[in-house]
């Protein structure tokens, strides 16, 4: 059983789209998605530096575009789809909930709204690695921080004001390390409330279809079978914690035996290697990874050709 997963913000690196643009049809797809997003995605994915693509308004559409084009190149038909944070929009498009164009327009609006919300207060995020999860969450609560990403595999991301994060750096949970993250705000917290309002208005005009593939939600790890419910969760997710730990729990309960992470892959398969021992994983970083990914998908019954046979 195969699950296709899409990474969230922070996975992007300078020039990571360059090798993908050598594939037939990719330039045309990016041109159309650039129009929907109001950004030159080919430029940002090939020539922009790390600071430019760290910008929330750029990073989010760039990641969704990369996920969609690499999934199309892979050609797999997975048993489940899921994404981390903005990767949930990629997953929604792969499941047929949103058209690719609507997904790109929604992502661009999300990135702009979250950037605007982040500009109001000096906020950020830090990864907390190790420690007892319950004790870590209690410690964050004591400091006024939000466990914005509960990722499993001993990783929780704290979000809040600069002052609160400084207090965390000075007063770490027992047995844990704290690593500041290079992000522009306290995503998945109440600091993003204004972005939720913007997306609620936009979502009212989206044409959402019911998922054609089982779609695992960040909110609680549940499989959501209503397109309207998926869109509602995409909106609410901006200010609510990402429960990737519960998503991986669902993978395990459903008997997933393989995970392929679309471009720019690496983060989510890293978590899976620690949390889901025995599950085979593969990260799509460049087109050079496609042959191995297709072979894994075919072995697990995850390609249209394999299923037809």
Residue 12, CA distances (Å) to 54, 63, 262 in order: 8, 7, 12
Q: Please say whether the dihedral angle defined by the alpha carbons of residues 135, 136, 142 and 144, taken in this order, is positive or negative.
A: negative
Q: Which of 29, 85, 126, 263 is catalytic?
A: 85
Is 191 annotated in the active site?
no
Residue 103, CA distances (Å) to 99, 212, 215, 257, 277 in order: 6, 16, 15, 28, 33
Let me know if 280 is exposed, middle or buried by CB neighbors in 10 A (0-12, 13-18, 19+).
Answer: middle
> Where do runs of H (alpha helix) occur along 204-266?
227-237, 244-253
- Give ∠ CA 161-165-168 in degrees, rounded to 5: 145
**140 closest CA partner among 117, 114, 159:** 159
Q: Which of 34, 188, 217, 239 is catalytic?
A: 188
Rounded to an integer, what distance in angstroms lies between the CA atom of residue 306 and that of residue 21? 27
Is 188 annotated in the active site?
yes
**167 closest CA partner among 134, 131, 140, 207:** 140
Number of residues assigned to the chain? 309
Active site amino acids: 85, 188
């Amino acid at each position: 059983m195969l699950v296709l997963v899409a990474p969230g913000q922070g996975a992007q690196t300078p020039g990571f789209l360059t090798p993908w643009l050598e594939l037939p049809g990719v330039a045309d797809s990016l041109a159309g998605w650039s129009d929907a997003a109001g950004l030159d995605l080919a430029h940002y994915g090939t020539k922009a530096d790390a600071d430019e693509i760290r910008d929330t308004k750029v990073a989010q559409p760039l990641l969704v575009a990369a996920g969609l084009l690499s999934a199309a190149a892979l050609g797999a038909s997975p048993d489940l789809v899921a994404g981390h944070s903005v990767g949930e929009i990629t997953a929604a498009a792969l499941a047929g909930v949103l058209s690719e164009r609507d997904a790109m327009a929604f992502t661009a609006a999300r990135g702009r709204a979250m950037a605007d919300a982040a500009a109001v207060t000096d906020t950020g995020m830090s990864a907390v690695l190790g420690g007892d999860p319950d004790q870590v969450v209690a410690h964050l609560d004591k400091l006024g921080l939000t466990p914005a990403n509960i990722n499993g595999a001993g990783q929780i991301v704290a979000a809040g004001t600069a002052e609160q994060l400084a207090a965390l750096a000075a007063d770490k949970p027992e047995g844990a390390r704290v690593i500041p993250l290079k992000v522009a705000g306290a995503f998945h917290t109440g600091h993003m409330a204004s972005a939720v309002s913007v997306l609620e208005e936009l979502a009212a005009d989206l044409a959402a279809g019911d998922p054609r593939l089982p779609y695992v939600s960040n909110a609680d790890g549940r499989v959501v079978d209503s397109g309207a419910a998926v869109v509602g969760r995409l909106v609410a997710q901006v200010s609510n914690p990402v429960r990737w730990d519960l998503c991986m729990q669902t993978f395990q309960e459903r008997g997933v035996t393989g995970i392929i992470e679309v471009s720019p892959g690496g983060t989510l398969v890293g978590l899976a290697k620690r949390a889901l021992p025995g599950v085979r994983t593969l990260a799509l970083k460049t087109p050079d990874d496609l042959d191995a990914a297709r072979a894994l998908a075919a072995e697990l019954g995850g390609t249209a050709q394999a299923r037809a046979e």
